[in-house]
Amino acid sequence: MMNRRLLLRTSSAAVAGALGAAALPDTVAAAAEATPGPSARPIGGSGPTDGVTRRLLQEHPSPAEGWEAVQTLVEIPRHKESGRHSHPGVEVGYIIRGDVLMEFDDRPPLRLRTGDPFFIPEGAIHNARNVGTVTTMMLSTYVVDATKPLVTTY
């Protein structure tokens, strides 16, 4: 049986969000089940999110019942973006490399550069747009509701 939360974390969030995990090709589901440890998979198909990856680094129960801590390494190629999405908890991040314009639905955008930390509140709809000259790398740590998908796309 495919772990839906793992699929949403490590494969195409745009596809999984729009179609549901069962609609993904068997080869994608089988690869996700067969891949031990952290893996990186593209977040979108062709278009502005093409080539974006979210690698699951670690996942642990939180001290607060029903919550978990999840850490990922996100890579966004030049001229690409994460796509509008939210998380069922907070995101605490750090820009390892690159320049990002973090766009929000409810506040002005935030320009982030190599070495900058960031914080995104629970449920905030946001989009990370690579505005630099290299592939952006972000370390993102989430404290999220364990019963919900890590990413909800819009």
What confidence score (pLDDT) does residue 46 get?
62
Burial of 121 (0-12, 13-18, 19+ CB in 10 A): middle
CA within 13 Å, CB half, 123: 1
What confidence score (pLDDT) does residue 15 get?
31
Cβ of 102: how many Cβ atoms within 10 Å? Answer: 21
How far is the C-alpha of 79 from the C-alpha of 135, rounded, in Å?
A: 9
How far is the C-alpha of 66 from the C-alpha of 33, rounded, in Å?
A: 24
Q: Across the chain, what does the average pLDDT equal?
A: 79
Q: How many domains does the chain have?
A: 1
Q: And the tokens for 95?
A: 């820009």
Which residues contact residue 109 at a Cβ distance below 8 angstroms, ignoring those fewer than 6 apart? 101, 102, 103
Between 114 and 31, residue with greater pLDDT: 114
How far is the C-alpha of 75 from the C-alpha of 68, rounded, in Å?
A: 22
Q: What digits encode the pLDDT tens for the residues 30-77?
A: 333 333 344 454 444 567 889 999 999 999 999 999 999 999 999 999
Mean pLDDT of the region 75-99: 97
| Range with lowest mean pLDDT among 33-37, 62-66, 133-137, 139-143 | 33-37
Assessment of whether the complete model's pTM goes beyond 0.75: no
133's enclosing H/E stretch is: none
Task: Look at the block and give the residue holding tokens 């440890």.
Answer: 37
Residue 85 structural domain:
4-153
What confidence score (pLDDT) does residue 8 get?
45
What three-state secondary structure class fits 45?
coil
CATH of the domain at 78: 2.60.120.10
Residue 106's φ and ψ, nearest 5 degrees, are -115, 10
